[in-house]
Structure 1
C-alpha cells in the first residue's frame, strides 16, 4: 500500500510542516502541495493523487466547487482538515461527497489513521448531535445570507431568487435563529467570523 497525497492549504508554513511530517510515515507519499484552490482540479489531473488533504474555510462557493470537483473526477477521495468543527461544515462536506472531516485539534496519529481508513474506502465524520441538526444553514439560506451581505433588501432578494417576500422573511428569521444573532447585520458578522461567508 502506497498512498499518494496532495496537500491543499492557503498557509505555506502549514503545508511545509504537514509535508515534512507525512513523508516520514511508511506507505504515505506527499506528491504535491497547493496554496491556491483555483488550481486544484488541474493539479489533481496532473498528479493523480489517491487522496487530497484539504484545509479551507467552508464558504458557499467552496461547497459548490467541491461538489463539482468530485463529480468531474471519479474515485477521488478528499479529507477535509478544519480548525472549526461546526455542524454546518461537517454536513456540507459530507453532502458534497468528501470522504472524511477531521478537526485540527486532533492528534497527528488520528490524522494518519483517518488517511489510511479513507484510502481503504471508509468514510469518517464527527457525529452531529441531534439537537445541532436544526442549526445547519440550508443552501437557500446561504444564498439569502450572501445577498443580505450585499446590502440587498427583502424585495430585491425576492425578485432575484423568484420567491415571495414572505418566504424571504421566513428564511431570514431562520438564519438569525440558527446563528444566534439579533439582526440581519449580526447574522452576517457571525457568518463571516465562522467562515460561512466571505465579502469580496
Structure 2
C-alpha cells in the first residue's frame, strides 16, 4: 500500500480526495491536516510514502510546510496539488524540496497516478510547470528581485514605509490573508527571513523610494 498524508485547508477538498483515494486498491490515506504547521508535524511523525500538499494555507503555507518536512526528513516525497501556477508559487516550493507539482484541474485518476509515480521516486510535473522551469534555466542570470510581480513590488514599497499588513490591506483594498501571502512570497523570492531584511534588500537594489 502507498501511504499518503493529505494537507489541505479546504475540508471539502480533503473529503473528496480522501474518498476517491479510498477506492484505489493500492493507496491509503493515513492522516489529514488542515494547515501547514500541523501537516508538517503529521508527515514527520507518520513518514508516509507521499505527502499530498496544498500551497495556500494559513498560518503556515505549503512552501514553509515543505521546508519543515524536508529539514527533519530529507527523504520525504512531496506532491504539490494546487490551483496556482504563478512564479511565486511554483519556484519556491520546488526549491524547498517538493518532488512533484500537479494542478487541481487534473482529474482524479491523474492525481492517483501522480501519487504512484511520486512514491516510486519519479517526479511528475504539470506541462505548464515544466515550461516555467525550462524558461528559468534559459535565463539563469535573473536576479532575485526580477521575479517579483508588480503587486509584490507595490507591497514591498509599503513595507519600506513601515506600514503593517493590516494598513497595506486597507490601502490596497485586499484581504489581510492576501497581504500575508504576498509578504511571504516576497521573503521567499528575495531569500530573506523577515520584513526588515526584505526592506534592506529593497533599498540596496533601489527597488523602493525613500519618499
Question: Shared fold by TM > 0.5?
Answer: yes
Give the SS at the match of 1:169. coil
Q: Which residue number corresponds to residue 75 of structure 1?
A: 75
Moved more, 61-70 or 25-34: 61-70
Q: Which residue of 2 aligns with 1:84?
A: 84
1:130 to 131, 135, 140: 135
TM-score, length of structure 2 as denominator length: 0.64
Given that 1:58 and 1:89 are in contact with CA atoms closer than 8 Å, whether structure 2 keeps it comes out as no
Q: In structure 2, what is the Cα distance between the partners aligned to 1:167 and 1:79?
A: 36
Contact in 1 for aligned 2:83/2:105 (Cα 8 Å) = yes
Q: Is the 8 A contact 1:10 1:56 kept in 2?
A: no
Q: Distance in 2 between matches of 1:163 and 1:111?
A: 42
Distance (Å, rounded) in 1 between the aligned partners of 2:8 and 2:202: 40
Unpaired segments of 5 or more residues in structure 2?
164-194
Aligned to 1:169: 206
1:176 aligned partner: none
Distance in 2 (CA, whole Å) between partners of 1:60 and 1:136 is: 24
Which deviations, in whole Å up to 9, do the C-alpha atoms of 1:33-68 show, x marking residues without a partner? 111322123212332211110113189963344223
Q: Does 1:103 align with 2:108?
A: no
Question: 1:60/1:143 Cα in 2 relative to 1: closer, same or farther (>3 Å)?
Answer: farther
Cα distance in 2, alignment partners of residues 130 and 47 from structure 1 = 36
Higher RCO (Cα < 8 Å, 6 or more apart):
1
Q: Within 1, Cα distance between the matches of 2:160 and 2:121?
A: 41
RMSD: 3.6
Gaps of 5+ in 1: 154-158, 174-200
Match of 2:158 in 1: 148
Mean CA deviation greater in 51-60 or 128-137 = 128-137
Contact 1:8/1:53, CA 8 A, preserved across alignment: yes
Distance 2:86 2:111 in 1: 18
> Number of paired residues?
164
Which stretch of the first structure deviates more once superposed, 68-77 or 125-134? 125-134
